[in-house]
């Protein structure tokens, strides 16, 4: 086999900066990645300007022939007639459209495990423990303009595991993918998947409780009742410690701490509003059930996921200050998805719900921009509202809307640069930036076009024998 | 009684042995190995010296040692003696795990009624279970290994390992050290919690917190039991208490980058005295391994399974870059130990499941990739002894240590080294030279004869094809042609290695060239094999030679 | 149906919007007379006509162009500001064969056994499937539905998305024979050390055996069909007669280059009228396929590229084929997830990665009509053709466009499909 010496040289073109960036903390870990097994790490986005582009801000309209100035990974300025300092890495946006990097609020990408389905409550499991940074699905989503993912536990359990919010910093190790500053979250699930009725009884295995929707409610109440008791136990312990420390006469001997329970720890965090709940749900009745359970126990559901019947109870969802993250038009694959309508997103938005459109699949994540446009088609959502469904609204649901999700000064420079309007048919992603660094550039990406060019240049016929048989 | 260093060492050695063991249970002779080049590992090389072995221990070693009258003298002129190797990754004598753990899906549930260990037994004590078939011992020992650390190979809390000498018959009484370490891994149990990696890590953390608490409760109960409820007795958690206090080492099996990082994170969270075992992608996690120690496996994984292999898919590359990239990654994997060495990580080398006969060959690959040979030898002897806490009695050739030696013709890690004998507890085991194998140089091997006219039937996606193949042979190469209804093709690159014949033809069809690679196994006048037909897929063939 | 009452598509004439046009009992010939006026007509086979009028009579397009008089008694639909396109054709899905994916009772997509050439899906198509009105609401008026699984799936049916019975729906109930070609098992078999080798070897052997079986089967079928009065009758072999005589197309659902080459060899051996479908690696053989005039049904574009393929391989291959001169048409391969209505968005994704937009439109209209032998009836707006049309606010490939009217066989489709009904009903829920 002929060696074509592409491998050793990361292809660096004139686009990259001339200045040497002062290395921010993550760069120290960057240097441990070695060529061949890693992809060249993009230069830190210390001073970047995307110029002369149509900028879709998601918060304050669209700016024609505008510039986004990025300093140290954050958006420093956005508008027309922005002075670009000398030494900036210029990305020429002429004819291009810039929108905030797409945020997918429901992903299972890069997880080496998705469902710890052996128990109905697994709040102790953590997605960040099982991620693998080189899953090709991450790259393909990046090539579709996605910058942030909400990596969730699967929907096998009523109370699933803890989520991981990540930015797709392709090429860096897992620790560097985690979105610093993102509040922790957790997955709940209701309905058919949890009841396991679609897979039927497994021979030799006891069916797992719950098998009905009322059982799901019961399990939720049971779990949070235990969590409240655990919370009280620890409070009593802390109080006893305080008493003893203060030398109170009626203090006990050195109190024994209660057993630490990682599962109940997570549930208590939910009760205390420190952990965001993302709940997979379909039917209107189970949505209402969950909202009531949360209310009874004093916590908020951050987002309902899929929520395909959300349009039926949109007012209740809005009143609970709960977001909804749904599909554009996927339906009929399960009985509980039968009442789904493509107008779901627009109708919920109309009633005041913060709606996002998600993928729940590596495949769909690549074209969320096309999915979001469906909110305009079905139900007449405005363009800005539809853009927000894959940017700012998703950011709000994940608790990172102060950090990303729109092109505003002070936010992370997470951007997707398109060849045309993201909703127009012939548009595609040309570049994706995270923290001002170019993690995807179609001009450097291996495309089919490029592969065919290579094959044409070979003296032999149009065959490939790539890869071992 | 004068406490000579030997006797002092002997008492120390006795302290490590199981109480019922008699150091003289196996008859070991008194040996004087003379005129040998002695690689002591810890005290340099003695170009020409003598090792005196008595009662299973090294009584003396040096350039000039008085040979007692009762010693059997063995003249090792021209030979090198090194400490025999210590392999910290073995599952010798343990029943193979019944199910593959890690991700118990619906199908696994049918095996729920298994009585064997599921991988969730921290209290499991390997020393009590050992049943080593002698036939299993010999191949490992023939590779120069004298001692292995035996631990279960799957599960999340696998149990506690035992350090075992590779004598022909090994029983619990012979164990050098029981409960060496707590072995931890990342496979789940089938059909139950934790079934996947998600549950495994959560379970491990919870168990270690429970052990912390249990330790505190037990301490309290021990000092002042009156008036308080007694702690529950949970053998699993009880076994983890010394681990979580850093008193018992934890050996965590972690091979790829993320496994290594996960294991270090666990070690940090619970302040474990942890050793990473496997670490085949250690070079991708040098920052995590800084200041830690690792048992580095030389069972190099497939390049295509290496973390980051898929990054190629995001970079412009040439056609057919897979082969080139595979080669580059292979080199990187083989350079793993060298990278760890350069980064200052303390490590031992281990087989990690490599076939014993390939073990030293794989170590040599690491040396070829940049690991200094001296470091490699240390990593096979004194380092593993340290990690197992037995460096006082094993791992080097010093007076007082156990007489575990390997005799080779020249430096043990040289490419041409051949092992002629291994001493375990002073017992000499001869090592027969390995039979000539077709792989490698093949100079002394008789190549099969393929000259003649063959009638071949090739079965491919395109259907069956009758071919007449005419060959002439010269030594281990051959040439000829293949004739069929598709035309006649010249054979190129015909080579015989033992009984394996490989050759190539190029088929011209419709203006295109298709390269076809054949590989056949010759058995007298018959040959069977396979053919790679480029983009037409692959096929199989049988052929008969006209006598 | 995206004809929103509130957005006010202007409808004149006697019929009130809420009263759906009741289809009469014997399509396609019906007493129906419509004129869609003052609209931009996109015939596909000819240049656009601004401010044009299309007259539909008795299920056919009677006239189309500028300066066409509205016949008296016609129901006039004002197309001002709108665009009229020919109804789109999905060249691959399971229309009518599956209702809810997780409910086996409603699925007729896969029969047991490897060789079922005599199975014909038309009789299993459920005319009342909820997917029918949902799909046509976005202008997809015709679908080629077939079974999956095994080696030979049987007859595919080309159906219009209207009709009381399957026969009424059918444009051609036996439009093509559907098959696949054996592939080397599941991916590259790169598992473990020795394990990997073994797997690759086994997979290759299995594939060889399957190929032999397929050849043998077809040879026997050919021999059977050559006999004048074979006894006993073999319905399976008999069903292969038209395909083996080259009278009907044979659709090969394949993916890899190896499979495609195998199909070409098979085509030569049995002189088949081959159509490739799926065929994501067909770009490697684009020139060959163009030279041999083998059409390729591309898609779904929502498939993930395999293994080592470039990230945009599936998006870009339709463009590569079209540039080489291959006749392409799109399929959604929808298995009951409501994806058939997204047929034009498959084409849209392809236009973002190299396919000419005009070709993209042709690939969902006239191209499939030609491939399936119905170009005289469907696929463009020309007088004499069947009135399968839709009126839309913009480019059908643009997701944002909304369909205002759909005609199939000259019948005006009611707007009350399940989704629109639920939308309007729940939109009017009073605040709790």
Question: Tell me: the pLDDT tens digits for B26-37?
Answer: 455 799 999 999
User: A446, B314: Cβ pair inside 8 Å?
Assistant: yes
Residue B104: band (very low, low, confident or very high) from pLDDT cuts 50, 70, 90: very low
First CA to last CA distance, chain B: 80
Residue B535: band (very low, low, confident or very high) from pLDDT cuts 50, 70, 90: low
Residue A185 pLDDT greater than 80, yes or no: yes
What pLDDT shows up at residue B115?
Answer: 65
Q: Which of A80, A206, A142 lies closest to A439 in space, CA to CA?
A: A142
Same domain, A367 and A423: no
CB-nearest partner of C337 from A330, A347, A446: A330
Judge whether C196 is closer than 8 Å to chain B, CB to CB. yes
Which of A404, A429, A457 finishes a domain? A404
Mean pLDDT score, C132-139:
96
Task: Give Cβ neighbours of residue A3 (< 8 Å, ≥ 6 apart).
Answer: B318, B321, B324
Q: Which residues of B touch A171 (CB under 8 A)?
A: 311
What pLDDT shows up at residue A469?
Answer: 30
Q: Which residues of C touch A451 (CB under 8 A)?
A: 310
Q: In this complex, how many residue pairs, one in chain A and one in chain C, have their CB atoms less than 8 Å apart? A: 154
Same domain, C190 and C336: yes
Domain count, chain C: 2
User: A469, B213: Cβ pair inside 8 Å?
Assistant: no
C353 alpha carbon, distance to own chain's centre: 22
Q: How do residues A287-323 score in pLDDT, each as one tens digit?
A: 999 999 999 999 999 999 999 999 999 999 999 999 9
Q: Which of C141, C176, C170 lies closest to C155 in space, CA to CA?
A: C176
Q: Which helix (H) or strand (E) holds C238?
A: helix C235-239
Q: Which of B423, B429, B431 lies closest to B58 in space, CA to CA?
A: B423
Mean pLDDT score, C155-166:
96
Same domain, A61 and A113: no
Same domain, A400 and A410: no
Burial A308-322 (b: 16+ CB within 10 A, else e): bbbbbbbbbbbebeb
Residue C53 C-alpha, separation from nearest chain A C-alpha, in angstroms: 26
Q: Which two tokens stand for residue C169?
A: 């729906």
Residue B176 pLDDT greater than 90, yes or no: yes
CB-nearest partner of A113 from B197, B284, B316: B197
Per the CB < 8 A criterion, the answer to whether B163 and B180 are in contact is yes
What pLDDT shows up at residue C389?
Answer: 97
- Alpha-carbon distance of B50 to B64, in angstroms, equals 7
Residue B324: band (very low, low, confident or very high) from pLDDT cuts 50, 70, 90: confident
Whole-prediction pTM: 0.85
- Alpha-carbon distance of A194 to B256, in angstroms, equals 33
Same domain, A282 and A315: yes
Closest chain A residue to the Cα of C189, Cα to Cα: A469
Superfamily of B87-105+115-390 according to CATH: Metal-dependent hydrolases (3.20.20.140)
Same domain, C383 and C360: no
Q: How do residues B106-124 score in pLDDT, each as one tens digit?
A: 434 344 445 678 899 999 9
Judge whether C291 is closer than 8 Å to chain B, CB to CB. no
Q: Note the CATH architecture for domain B452-545.
A: Beta Barrel (2.40)
Mean pLDDT score, B47-72:
94
The residue segments making up the domain with residue C107 are 88-374
Q: How do residues C215-263 score in pLDDT, each as one tens digit?
A: 999 999 999 999 999 888 999 999 999 999 999 999 999 999 999 999 9
Q: In sequence order, what are the beta bridge partners of A56?
A: A62
- List the chains bordering chain C where 3 or more Cβ pairs fall under 8 Å: A, B
Residue B13 pLDDT greater than 50, yes or no: no
Mean pLDDT score, C143-168:
96
More confident residue, C69 or B546: C69
More confident residue, C240 or B491: C240
Same domain, C150 and C296: yes
Residue B510 pLDDT greater than 80, yes or no: no
What pLDDT shows up at residue A243?
Answer: 87
Q: Which of B392, B398, B401 lies closest to B42 in space, CA to CA?
A: B398
Same domain, A30 and A144: no
Same domain, C3 and C142: no
Q: Which residues of C touch B530 (CB under 8 A)?
A: 201, 204
Helix, strand counts (H, E) of chain A: 14, 17
Q: In this complex, how many residue pairs, one in chain B and one in chain C, have their CB atoms less than 8 Å apart? A: 49
User: A343, C423: Cβ pair inside 8 Å?
Assistant: yes
The residue segments making up the domain with residue A185 are 103-404
Q: The domain that contains A8 carries what CATH number?
A: 2.30.40.10
What pLDDT shows up at residue C16?
Answer: 38
**Within 13 Å and on the Cβ side, how many CA atoms surround C115?**
16
Same domain, A235 and A295: yes
Q: The domain that contains C49 carries what CATH number?
A: 2.30.40.10
Residue B142 pLDDT greater than 80, yes or no: yes
- List the chains bordering chain B where 3 or more Cβ pairs fall under 8 Å: A, C
Closest chain C residue to the Cα of A462, Cα to Cα: C284
User: A1, B320: Cβ pair inside 8 Å?
Assistant: yes
Same domain, A393 and A424: no
Burial B127-152 (b: 16+ CB within 10 A, else e): bebbebeeeebbebbbbbbbbbbbbb
Residue B547 pLDDT greater than 80, yes or no: no
Q: The domain that contains C119 carries what CATH number?
A: 3.20.20.140
What pLDDT shows up at residue C101?
Answer: 87
Residue C132 C-alpha, separation from nearest chain B C-alpha, in angstroms: 36
Domain count, chain A: 2
Q: Where on the phi/psi map is residue A196: left (φ > 0), alpha (ψ -120 to 50), or beta?
A: left
Same domain, A418 and A435: yes
Mean pLDDT score, A119-142:
97
**Within 13 Å and on the Cβ side, how many CA atoms surround A447?**
21
Residue A214 pLDDT greater than 80, yes or no: yes
Residue A415 pLDDT greater than 80, yes or no: yes
Q: Would you identify the CATH topology of the domain B1-83+391-434?
A: Urease, subunit C; domain 1 (2.30.40)
Q: Which of A336, A357, A330 lies closest to A346 in space, CA to CA?
A: A357
Helix, strand counts (H, E) of chain B: 11, 25
Q: Which two tokens stand for residue C91?
A: 């060249």
Per-domain residue ranges of chain B = 1-83+391-434, 87-105+115-390, 452-545
Closest chain C residue to the Cα of A370, Cα to Cα: C399
Cis amide leading into B194 (omega within 30) = yes
Mean pLDDT score, A379-399:
97
Q: How do residues C32-58 score in pLDDT, each as one tens digit?
A: 899 999 999 999 999 999 999 999 999
Which of A349, A377, A404 finishes a domain? A404
- List the chains bordering chain A where 3 or more Cβ pairs fall under 8 Å: B, C
DSSP type of residue C120 = B
- Alpha-carbon distance of B310 to B313, in angstroms, equals 5
Residue B517: band (very low, low, confident or very high) from pLDDT cuts 50, 70, 90: confident
Residue B1 pLDDT greater than 60, yes or no: no
| B325 φ/ψ angles, rounded to the nearest 5 degrees | -65, -40
Judge whether C214 is closer than 8 Å to chain B, CB to CB. no
Q: Which of B128, B137, B139 lies closest to B169 in space, CA to CA?
A: B137
Residue B133 pLDDT greater than 90, yes or no: no
Mean pLDDT score, B348-355:
96
Same domain, C112 and C215: yes
CB-nearest partner of B313 from C258, C265, C308: C308
Residue B365 pLDDT greater than 60, yes or no: yes
- Alpha-carbon distance of B249 to A278, in angstroms, equals 40
On the question of a common fold for B1-83+391-434 and B87-105+115-390, the answer reads no
SS3 B260: helix
Q: Which of B243, B245, B241, B281 lies closest to B260 in space, CA to CA?
A: B281
Q: How do residues C183-225 score in pLDDT, each as one tens digit?
A: 986 433 222 222 334 455 677 888 899 999 999 999 999 999 9
What pLDDT shows up at residue B538?
Answer: 75
Q: Which helix (H) or strand (E) holds B59?
A: strand B57-62
Q: Which residues of B touch A114 (CB under 8 A)?
A: 196, 198
Mean pLDDT score, B66-87:
95
First CA to last CA distance, chain C: 28
CB-nearest partner of A331 from C338, C352, C353: C338
Residue B97 pLDDT greater than 80, yes or no: no
Same domain, A77 and A123: no
User: B464, C212: Cβ pair inside 8 Å?
Assistant: yes
Residue A258 pLDDT greater than 80, yes or no: yes
User: B324, A4: Cβ pair inside 8 Å?
Assistant: yes
Same domain, C299 and C392: no
Q: Which residues of B touch C265 (CB under 8 A)?
A: 462
Which of A375, A404, A433 finishes a domain? A404
Task: Give Cβ neighbours of residue A299 (< 8 Å, ≥ 6 apart).
Answer: A270, A271, A273, A277
Q: How do residues C274-311 score in pLDDT, each as one tens digit?
A: 999 999 999 999 999 999 999 999 999 999 998 789 99
Which of C328, C346, C374 finishes a domain? C374
């Amino acid at each position: 086999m002929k060696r074509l010496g592409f491998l050793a040289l990361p292809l660096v073109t004139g686009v990259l900066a001339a200045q040497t960036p002062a290395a921010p903390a993550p760069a120290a870990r960057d240097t441990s990645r070695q060529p061949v097994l890693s992809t060249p790490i993009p230069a830190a986005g210390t001073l970047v300007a995307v110029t002369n582009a149509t900028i879709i801000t998601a918060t304050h309209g669209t700016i024609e022939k505008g510039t986004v100035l990025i300093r140290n990974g954050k958006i420093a300025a956005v508008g027309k007639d922005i002075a670009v300092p000398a030494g900036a890495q210029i990305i020429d946006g002429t004819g291009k459209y810039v929108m905030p990097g797409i945020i997918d609020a429901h992903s299972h990408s890069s997880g080496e495990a998705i469902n710890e389905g052996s128990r109905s409550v697994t709040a102790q499991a953590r997605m960040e423990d099982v991620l693998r940074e080189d899953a090709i699905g991450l790259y393909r989503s990046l090539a579709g303009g996605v910058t942030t993912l909400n990596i969730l536990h699967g929907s096998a359990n009523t109370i699933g595991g803890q989520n991981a919010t990540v930015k797709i910093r392709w090429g860096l190790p897992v620790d560097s993918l985690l979105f610093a500053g993102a509040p922790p979250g957790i997955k709940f699930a209701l309905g058919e998947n949890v009841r396991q009725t679609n897979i039927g009884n497994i021979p030799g295995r006891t069916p797992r409780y719950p098998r009905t929707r009322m059982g799901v409610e019961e399990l939720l109440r049971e779990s949070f009742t235990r969590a409240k008791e655990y919370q009280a136990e620890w409070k009593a312990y802390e109080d006893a410690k305080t008493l003893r420390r203060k030398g109170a006469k009626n203090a006990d001997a050195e109190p024994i701490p209660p057993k630490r329970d990682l599962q109940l720890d997570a549930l208590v965090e939910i009760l205390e509003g420190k952990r965001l709940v993302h709940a997979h749900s379909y039917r209107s009745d189970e949505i209402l059930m969950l909202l009531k359970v949360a209310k009874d126990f004093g916590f908020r559901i951050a987002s309902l996921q899929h929520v395909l019947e959300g349009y039926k109870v949109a007012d209740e969802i809005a009143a609970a200050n709960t977001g909804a993250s749904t599909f554009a038009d996927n339906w009929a694959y399960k009985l509980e998805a039968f009442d789904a309508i493509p107008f779901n997103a627009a109708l919920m938005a109309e009633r005041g719900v913060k709606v996002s459109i998600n993928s729940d699949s590596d495949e769909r994540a690549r074209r969320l921009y096309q999915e979001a446009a469906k909110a305009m088609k079905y139900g007449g959502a405005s363009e800005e509202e539809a853009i927000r469904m894959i940017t700012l609204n998703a950011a709000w649901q994940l608790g990172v809307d102060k950090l990303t999700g729109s092109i505003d000064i002070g936010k992370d420079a997470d951007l997707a640069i398109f060849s045309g309007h993201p909703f127009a048919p012939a548009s595609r992603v040309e570049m994706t930036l995270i923290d001002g660094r170019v993690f995807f550039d179609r001009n450097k990406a291996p495309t089919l076009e490029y592969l065919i060019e290579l094959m044409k240049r070979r003296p032999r016929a149009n065959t490939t024998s790539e890869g071992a048989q | 009684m004068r406490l000579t260093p030997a006797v002092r060492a002997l008492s120390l050695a006795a302290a490590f042995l199981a109480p019922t063991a008699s150091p003289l249970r196996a008859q070991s002779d008194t040996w004087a190995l003379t005129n040998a080049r002695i690689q002591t590992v810890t005290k340099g090389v003695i170009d020409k010296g003598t090792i005196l072995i008595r009662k299973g221990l090294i009584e003396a070693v040096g350039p000039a040692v008085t040979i007692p009258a009762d010693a059997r003298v063995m003249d090792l002129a021209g030979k090198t003696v090194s400490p025999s190797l210590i392999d910290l990754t073995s599952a010798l004598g343990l029943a193979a795990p019944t199910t593959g753990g890690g991700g118990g899906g619906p199908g696994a549930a049918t095996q729920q009624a298994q009585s064997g260990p599921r991988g969730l037994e921290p209290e499991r004590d390997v020393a009590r279970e050992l049943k080593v078939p002698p036939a299993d011992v010999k191949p490992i020992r023939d590779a120069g290994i004298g001692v292995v650390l035996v631990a279960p190979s799957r599960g999340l809390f696998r149990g506690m390992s035992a350090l075992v000498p590779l004598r022909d018959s090994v029983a619990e009484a012979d164990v050098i050290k029981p409960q060496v370490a707590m072995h931890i891994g990342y496979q789940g149990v089938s059909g139950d919690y934790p079934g996947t990696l998600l549950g495994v890590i959560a379970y491990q953390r919870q168990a270690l917190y429970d052990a912390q608490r249990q330790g505190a409760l037990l301490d309290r109960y021990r000092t002042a039991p009156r008036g308080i409820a007694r702690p529950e007795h949970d053998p699993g958690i009880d076994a983890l208490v010394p681990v979580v206090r850093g008193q018992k080492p934890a050996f965590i099996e972690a091979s790829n980058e993320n496994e290594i990082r996960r294991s270090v994170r666990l070690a940090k969270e619970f302040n474990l005295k942890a050793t990473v075992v496997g670490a085949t992608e250690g070079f991708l996690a040098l920052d995590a391994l800084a200041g830690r120690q690792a048992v580095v496996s030389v069972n190099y994984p497939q390049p295509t399974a290496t973390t980051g292999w898929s990054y190629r898919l995001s970079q412009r590359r040439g056609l057919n870059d897979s082969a080139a990239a595979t080669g580059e990654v292979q080199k990187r994997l083989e350079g793993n130990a060298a990278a760890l060495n350069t980064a200052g990580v303390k490590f031992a080398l281990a087989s990690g499941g490599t076939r014993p006969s390939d073990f030293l060959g794989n170590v040599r690959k690491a040396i070829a990739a940049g690991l200094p040979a001296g470091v490699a030898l240390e990593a096979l002897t004194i380092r593993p002894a340290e990690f197992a806490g037995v460096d006082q009695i094993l791992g080097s050739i010093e007076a007082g240590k156990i007489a575990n030696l390997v005799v080779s013709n020249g430096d043990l890690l040289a490419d041409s080294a051949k092992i002629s004998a291994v001493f375990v507890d002073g017992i000499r085991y001869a090592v027969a030279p390995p039979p000539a194998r077709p792989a490698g140089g093949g100079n002394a091997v008789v190549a099969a004869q393929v000259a003649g006219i063959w009638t071949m039937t090739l079965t491919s996606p395109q259907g069956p094809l009758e071919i007449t193949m005419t060959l002439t042979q010269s030594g281990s190469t051959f040439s000829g042609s293949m004739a069929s209804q598709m035309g006649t093709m010249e054979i190129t690159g015909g080579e015989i290695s033992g009984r394996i014949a490989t050759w190539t033809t190029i088929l011209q069809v419709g203006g295109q060239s298709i390269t076809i690679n054949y590989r056949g196994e010759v058995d007298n006048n018959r040959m069977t094999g396979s053919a790679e037909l480029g983009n037409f897929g692959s096929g199989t063939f049988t052929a008969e030679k006209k006598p | 149906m995206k004809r929103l009452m509130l957005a006010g598509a202007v409808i004149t004439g006697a019929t009130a919007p809420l009263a759906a046009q009741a289809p009469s009992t014997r399509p396609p010939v019906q007493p129906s007379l419509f004129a869609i006026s003052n609209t931009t007509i996109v015939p596909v086979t000819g240049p656009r006509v601004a401010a044009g009028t299309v007259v539909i009579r008795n299920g056919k397009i009677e006239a189309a162009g500028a300066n066409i008089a509205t016949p008296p008694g016609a129901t006039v639909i004002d197309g001002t500001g709108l665009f009229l396109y020919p109804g789109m054709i999905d060249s691959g899905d399971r229309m009518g064969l599956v209702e809810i994916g997780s409910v086996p009772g409603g699925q007729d997509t896969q029969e047991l056994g490897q060789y079922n050439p005599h199975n014909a899906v038309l009789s299993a198509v459920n005319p009342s499937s909820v997917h029918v009105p949902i799909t046509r609401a976005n202008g997809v008026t015709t679908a080629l539905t077939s079974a999956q699984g095994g080696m030979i799936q049987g007859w595919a049916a080309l159906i219009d998305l209207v009709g009381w019975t399957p026969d009424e729906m059918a444009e051609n109930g036996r439009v093509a024979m559907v098959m696949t070609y054996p592939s080397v098992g599941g991916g590259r078999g790169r598992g473990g050390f020795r394990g990997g080798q073994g797997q690759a070897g086994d997979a290759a052997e299995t594939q060889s055996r399957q190929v032999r079986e397929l050849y043998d089967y077809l040879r026997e079928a050919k021999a059977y069909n050559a006999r004048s009065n074979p006894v006993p009758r073999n319905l399976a072999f008999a069903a292969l007669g038209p395909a083996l005589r080259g009278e009907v197309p044979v659709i090969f659902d394949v993916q890899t280059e190896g499979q495609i080459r195998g199909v070409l060899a098979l085509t030569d051996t049995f002189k088949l009228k081959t159509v490739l479908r799926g065929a994501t690696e067909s770009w490697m053989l684009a020139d060959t396929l163009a030279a041999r005039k083998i059409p390729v049904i591309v898609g779904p574009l929502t498939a993930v590229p395999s293994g080592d393929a470039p990230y945009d391989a599936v998006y870009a291959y339709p463009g590569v084929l079209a540039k080489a001169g291959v006749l392409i048409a799109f399929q959604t391969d929808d298995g009951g997830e409501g994806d058939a209505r997204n047929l034009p968005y498959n084409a849209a994704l392809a236009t973002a990665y190299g396919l000419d937009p005009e070709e993209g439109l042709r690939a969902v209209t006239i191209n499939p009509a030609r491939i399936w032998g119905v170009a005289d009836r469907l696929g463009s707006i020309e007088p004499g053709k069947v009135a399968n049309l839709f009126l839309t606010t913009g480019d059908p490939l643009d997701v944002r466009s909304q369909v205002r009217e759909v005609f199939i066989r000259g019948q005006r489709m009611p707007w009350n499909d399940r989704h629109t009904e639920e939308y309007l009903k729940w939109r009017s829920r009073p605040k709790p």
